[in-house]
């Protein structure tokens, strides 16, 4: 028998000896080195741009020294003054801010009413064709958001802006400006794009509510209406607030729709204002605007997290009776089905067919002027900048190849980085590195894409240190696109690695496998599925991306989305519509196939 | 084959708390050593340090004269070069590889040629009786089969040291019993030195050749299982090993009730030592007429819990409740008053360390 009495704490070896030992251990374990590399990359790609844009907002730029009375490079409040207090600040900031708020509120209400109603219809009632409706009503989300605005123009455009007038005007019905441009069309078109968000989030929450909770209230004597008011609605609050904030956040950073529908009537929002400031080369003002958008975006997400935490106590674990307690609509079944169908028709069929028809008719939607010229013609009379059908010439194909190449590479980088971040976090050899990676990789989520693109421009547009100016290079596009999609892929990477745990790798290590062998034979093969979804989801969303790339592309690096917007600028409506149709077709097909093949739900890609 | 030696091993995760404090432990060659303790006592950390998956903050670990870790000398051998086997609590089979590929993996890493690899994998799988499921995937196996495959995966490389982390805790009672016998057999057949971790004292007693009890990162006692049961080093070991646990009555400073009764009996005989607590194992507390000099007292029966082969009785003796286990039928009902007696007590000093046993054969030992 051995009986041991020991001093409480052992005498620790000297610092130097421990360091020598630590280094010896690190030499055999590349995780730490990998973590360090990721930290440096993220600091440079995520944190540095934000610092750069902030410093640009407070440093006097070249060319402004006469107005501001300071030397270039000096610290200044000139841009703050210009944006918030000068004579033109109404035009620069306050009016766009007001417009942004109007659109955000309007779009949110629109999306809440349509999305919430449809969510209830497809999850809690016995409406005919429930399953089909649930799938069909998500389709608008698979189309680029400004598809709707182009369709709107094809219907309502008047002669105020250049290019061909819309269908109604062509029929001799004058469309007033408020119907053709500005707040109303923007709210409606954005609402039609974003209601699937609400549908998915609220639908999921509705599905998860345990019917036993409602039953208990019923048994205690509460009438149906009281049950909804006192039980269901309070339980839905987290999902509702999440949906609201998500939509507001997206609207804040959305560019395409306000650009297409707002600018012809000088209806400015923050995102288009930011874009114009950058086009006008007023870097200081643009930096202030970008900072404002970043701050609002951060506030929105922080509010969301805060609310979610407060509502955490509401989390209801679905019990036995969790699903499929459906209200019987009785004689309202078919009328409500009609309503659901109407929403589908208005949000999917009408825009898509309007666009399609507009590309095959000379006079909008007048089939007697049917032509395939806009797709196939060798030579289009009158179109100087793009003198042939979209499928002819090299523009579309170059842009498509660019999109495929740039977005594909960005997605690949994104997915691998996400998995590697997950790997470092789960290995947990360096807790501080893990915490940094986790938080910083999530940071771009807080920042509307257009503001992040502006921030990246601040950092990379000029040569800094050993790095040359990257503006206009595909490299910059790939980097920024990868970084903005990183929150989703790092989240899913961490989740996938967490689920796997450390043991499978440790087992391989024990069995004698080196780090490369473990990566090649164990980790990546097991995570194959996660890797594929990690590539495909950012790819689909990147293909439709406009807000980020519009800032960064030049004529040399045209993507499908920027090509389409460029055609809008020229007033070549049919050609622009044709390009958008191509994007919509690709993105819809890919989303559909992915959902079919991987059984992944679109909702998980929302990150909501 | 050599001993595993841990000397002065400590592990801190930072913040001044130690998961393992200054541990000295030698696992003899060919032993079946069990690290036993409640959760959080540092036993799994110790095992993972031996495997090389965690690194000590101080101290050294060696197998024979091959030093695997030495913080003082800056030596470290990574897990993949230690040539040990480790079976994880949740098995950690690779889901994308078949059973055969799982078992062959270690051999592949050692560049064992194909035919030999297959033969050795089959031998290992036969040893644990899952050779029939060779071409299935882990997800198609039952928990018990997965456990066996995890074992075979490690046996295939013929490790001289085999580490098991709570290998039986995820199995149901029936399988656990079976695997205990199986592990004992494998230990004998393979001749490997086995170190295994468990919080189940019964597992430790039934399988191990040596048991090391740990608490708060410190070794409490290292002994052969029956030795430990008979002579626990301190109160913690006494209470942790054995089920139902040993009843321990505090007797200092001025004992009344049961404590007073026990002390009078002890002082009358032992005289010299001054215990602060007295422990009685449930099976040492007998019911019926006491033989001559044994301590005895009246007890009220509170409940009788028959279990087929044994009867557990909850008794109230004066002011204290305690359990007695009888291997002959107990014909009593709640409320009955019986006489109970014992001639085996464990005496503990002020710091909880065991002073001596007090029984008829070793009074005052």
User: Whole-angstrom Cα distance, residue A83 to residue A283?
Assistant: 12
Residue in B74, B80, B227 nearest the CB of A1: B227
Region B99-114 average pLDDT: 93
C-alpha–C-alpha distance, residues A10 and A413, integer Å: 46
> Which ranges of B199-250 does DSSP label H, i.e. alpha helix?
201-207, 225-230, 235-240
Closest residue in B to A517 (Cα) is B109
CA distances from A593 to A139, A142, A408, B168, B294 (A): 13, 12, 17, 44, 83
Tens of pLDDT along B121-151? 999 999 888 889 899 999 999 988 998 999 9
Residue A608, pLDDT > 50, answer: no
CA distance A297 to A547: 15
Distances (CA, A) of A317 to A320, A344, A395: 10, 32, 53
Pick from A6, A510, A512: CB nearest B110: A512
Quote the pLDDT of residue A287. 87
Q: Which residues of B touch A427 (CB under 8 A)?
A: none
What pLDDT shows up at residue B314? 94
For residue A442, what pLDDT band results from cuts at 50, 70 and 90?
Answer: confident
Q: What percent of chain B has pLDDT over 70?
A: 96
CB-based burial of residue A535 (10 Å sphere; 0-12 exposed, 13-18 middle, 19+ buried)? buried
- CA-nearest of B108, B103, B95, B87 to B137 is B95
pLDDT score at B228: 93
Instruction: For chain B, give every residue range classified as CATH 3.40.50.300.
Output: 4-240
CB A146 within 8 A of CB A546: yes
3-state secondary structure of B296: strand
- C-alpha closest to that of B160 among B49, B5, B2, B35: B2
pLDDT, mean of residues A434-449: 84
Mean pLDDT of B95-122: 93
A333 vs A377: which has the higher pLDDT: A333
B221 to chain A: closest CA residue: A3
Here the ipTM equals 0.85
CATH 2.40.50.140 domain range(s) in chain B: 247-359
* B4-240, CATH topology level: Rossmann fold (3.40.50)
pLDDT in the model for residue A311: 63
Confidence at residue A427, expressed as pLDDT on a 0 to 100 scale: 83
**Mutation site for B-interface testing, chosen from A507, A516, A532 by largest number of B Cβ within 10 Å:** A507
Among all residues of chain B, which has the CA nearest to that of A512? B80
Q: What is the pLDDT of residue B354?
A: 81
The single residue listed with the structure tokens 């052992």 is A10
Q: Note the pLDDT of residue A599.
A: 59
Q: Are B198 and B213 in contact (CB under 8 A)?
A: no
Hey, are the CB atoms on B74 and A6 less than 8 Å from each other?
no
Q: Is the pLDDT of residue A455 over 90?
A: no
Q: What is the pLDDT of residues B181-227, one digit of tens each?
A: 888 998 998 889 999 999 999 999 999 999 999 999 999 999 999 99
Contact (Cβ atoms closer than 8 angstroms) between residue A119 and residue A203: yes
Site from A430, A510, A528 to mutate, B interface, most B CB atoms within 10 angstroms? A510
Name the pairing type of β-strands B193-198 and B161-165.
Answer: parallel
Of A152-161, A570-579, B144-153, highest mean pLDDT: B144-153
Q: Which domains does chain A have, with CATH numbers?
A: 394-608 (1.10.3720.10)
B103/B146 Cα distance (integer angstroms)? 12
pLDDT of residue A191: 93
Question: Is the Cβ–Cβ distance between B155 and B128 less than 8 Å?
Answer: yes
Picking from A389, A447, A107, the residue whose alpha carbon sits closest to that of residue A244 is A107
Q: Does A514 touch chain B (CB under 8 A)?
A: yes
Full 3-state SS string of A464-513: ECCECCCCCCHHHHHHHHHHHHHHHHHHHHHHHHHHHCCHHHHHHHHCCC
The per-residue pLDDT for range A32-78, each reduced to its tens digit, is 889 999 999 999 888 888 888 888 888 877 777 777 777 777 788 87
Interface test with B, best of A2, A11, A501, A512 (most B CBs within 10 A): A512
Q: What is the mean pLDDT of chain A?
A: 83
- Which residues of chain B are within 8 Å of residue A504 when distances are taken between CB atoms? 92-95
Residue B36 has pLDDT above 90, yes or no: yes
Query: Does the CB of A525 have a partner CB in chain B at under 8 Å?
Result: yes
Residue A605 pLDDT exceeds 50 = no
Fold of B247-359: OB fold (Dihydrolipoamide Acetyltransferase, E2P) (2.40.50)
pTM, rounded to two decimals: 0.81
Furthest C-alpha separation in chain B: 75
């Amino acid at each position: 028998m051995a009986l041991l009495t020991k001093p409480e704490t052992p005498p620790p070896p000297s610092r130097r000896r421990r360091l020598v030992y630590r280094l010896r251990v690190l030499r055999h374990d590349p995780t730490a080195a990998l973590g360090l590399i990721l930290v440096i990359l993220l600091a440079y790609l995520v944190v540095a741009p934000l610092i750069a844009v902030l410093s640009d907002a407070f440093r006097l730029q070249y060319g402004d020294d006469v107005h501001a009375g300071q030397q270039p490079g000096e610290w200044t409040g000139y841009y703050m003054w210009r944006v918030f207090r000068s004579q033109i600040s109404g035009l620069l900031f306050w009016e766009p801010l007001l417009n942004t708020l109007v659109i955000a509120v309007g779009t949110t209400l629109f999306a809440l009413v349509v999305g919430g109603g449809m969510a209830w219809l497809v999850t809690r009632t016995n409406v005919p064709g429930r399953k089909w409706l649930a799938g069909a009503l998500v389709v608008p989300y698979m189309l680029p958001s400004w598809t709707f605005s182009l369709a709107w123009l094809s219907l309502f455009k008047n002669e105020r802006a250049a290019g061909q007038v819309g269908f109604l005007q062509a029929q001799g019905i004058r469309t007033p400006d408020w119907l053709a441009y500005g707040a109303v069309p923007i709210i409606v078109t954005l609402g039609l794009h974003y209601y699937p968000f609400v549908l998915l989030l609220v639908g999921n929450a509705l599905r998860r509510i345990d019917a036993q909770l409602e039953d208990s209230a019923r048994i205690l004597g509460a009438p149906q209406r009281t049950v909804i008011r006192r039980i269901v609605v309070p339980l839905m609050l987290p999902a509702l607030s999440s949906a609201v904030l998500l939509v507001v956040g997206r609207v804040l950073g959305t560019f395409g729709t306000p650009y297409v529908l707002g600018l012809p009537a000088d209806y400015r929002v923050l995102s288009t204002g930011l874009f114009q400031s950058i086009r006008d080369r007023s870097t200081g003002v643009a930096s202030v605007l970008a900072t404002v958008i970043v701050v609002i975006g951060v506030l929105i997400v922080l509010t969301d997290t805060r609310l979610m935490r407060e509502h955490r106590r509401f989390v209801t674990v679905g019990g036995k009776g969790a699903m499929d307690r459906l209200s019987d609509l009785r004689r309202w079944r078919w009328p409500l089905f009609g309503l659901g169908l109407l929403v589908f028709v208005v949000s999917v069929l009408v825009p898509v067919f309007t666009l399609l028809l507009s590309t095959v008719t000379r006079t909008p939607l007048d089939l007697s002027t049917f032509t395939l010229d806009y797709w196939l013609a060798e030579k289009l009379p009158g179109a100087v900048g793009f003198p042939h059908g979209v499928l002819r010439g090299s523009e579309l194909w170059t842009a498509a190849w660019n999109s495929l190449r740039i977005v594909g590479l960005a997605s690949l980088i994104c997915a691998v980085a996400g998995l590697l971040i997950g790997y470092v976090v789960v290995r947990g050899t360096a807790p501080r590195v893990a915490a940094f990676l986790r938080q910083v990789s999530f940071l771009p989520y807080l920042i509307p894409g257009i503001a992040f693109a502006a921030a990246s421009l601040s950092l990379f547009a000029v040569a800094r240190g050993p790095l040359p100016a990257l503006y206009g290079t595909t490299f910059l596009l790939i980097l920024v696109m990868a970084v903005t999609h990183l929150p989703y892929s790092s989240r899913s990477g961490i989740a996938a690695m967490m689920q796997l745990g450390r043991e499978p790798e440790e087992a391989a290590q024990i069995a004698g496998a080196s780090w490369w062998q473990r990566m090649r034979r164990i980790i990546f093969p097991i995570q194959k599925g996660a890797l594929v979804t990690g590539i495909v989801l950012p790819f689909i969303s990147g293909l439709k991306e406009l807000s980020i790339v519009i800032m960064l592309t030049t004529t040399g690096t045209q993507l499908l989305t920027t090509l389409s917007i460029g055609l809008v600028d020229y007033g070549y409506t049919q050609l622009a519509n044709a390009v958008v149709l191509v994007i919509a077709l690709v993105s819809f097909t890919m989303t559909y196939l992915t959902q079919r093949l991987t059984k992944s739900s679109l909702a998980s890609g929302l990150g909501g | 084959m050599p001993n595993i030696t841990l000397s002065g091993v400590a592990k801190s995760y930072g913040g001044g708390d130690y998961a393992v404090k200054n541990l000295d432990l030698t696992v003899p060659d060919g032993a079946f050593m069990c690290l036993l303790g409640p959760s959080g006592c540092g036993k799994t950390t110790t095992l993972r340090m031996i495997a090389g998956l965690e690194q000590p903050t101080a101290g050294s670990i060696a197998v024979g004269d091959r030093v695997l870790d030495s913080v003082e000398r800056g030596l470290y051998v990574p897990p993949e070069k230690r040539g040990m086997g480790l079976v994880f609590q949740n098995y950690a089979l690779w889901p994308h590889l078949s059973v055969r590929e799982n078992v062959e993996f270690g051999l592949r890493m050692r560049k064992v040629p194909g035919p030999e690899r297959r033969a050795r994998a089959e031998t290992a799988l036969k040893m644990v009786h899952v050779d029939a499921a060779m071409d299935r995937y882990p997800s198609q196996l039952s928990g018990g089969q997965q456990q066996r495959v995890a074992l075979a995966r490690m046996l295939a490389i013929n490790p001289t040291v085999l580490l098991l982390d709570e290998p039986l805790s995820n199995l149901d009672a029936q399988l656990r019993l079976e695997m205990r016998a199986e592990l004992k057999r494998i230990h004998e057949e393979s001749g490997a030195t086995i170190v295994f971790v468990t919080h189940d004292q019964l597992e430790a007693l039934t399988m191990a050749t040596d048991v090391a009890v740990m608490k708060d990162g410190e070794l409490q006692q290292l002994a052969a299982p029956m030795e430990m049961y008979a002579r626990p080093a301190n109160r913690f070991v006494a209470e942790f090993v054995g089920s139902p646990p040993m009843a321990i009555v505090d007797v200092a400073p001025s004992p009344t009730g049961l404590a007073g009764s026990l002390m009078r009996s002890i002082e009358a005989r032992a005289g010299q030592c001054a215990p602060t607590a007295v422990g009685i194992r449930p099976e040492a507390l007998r019911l019926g007429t006491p033989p001559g000099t044994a301590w005895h007292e009246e007890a009220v029966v509170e409940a009788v819990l028959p279990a087929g082969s044994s009867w557990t009785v909850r008794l109230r003796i004066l002011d204290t409740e305690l359990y007695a286990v009888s291997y002959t039928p107990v014909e009593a009902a709640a409320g009955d008053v019986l006489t109970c007696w014992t001639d085996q007590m464990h005496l503990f000093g002020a710091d909880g360390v065991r002073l001596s046993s007090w029984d008829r054969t070793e009074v005052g030992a």
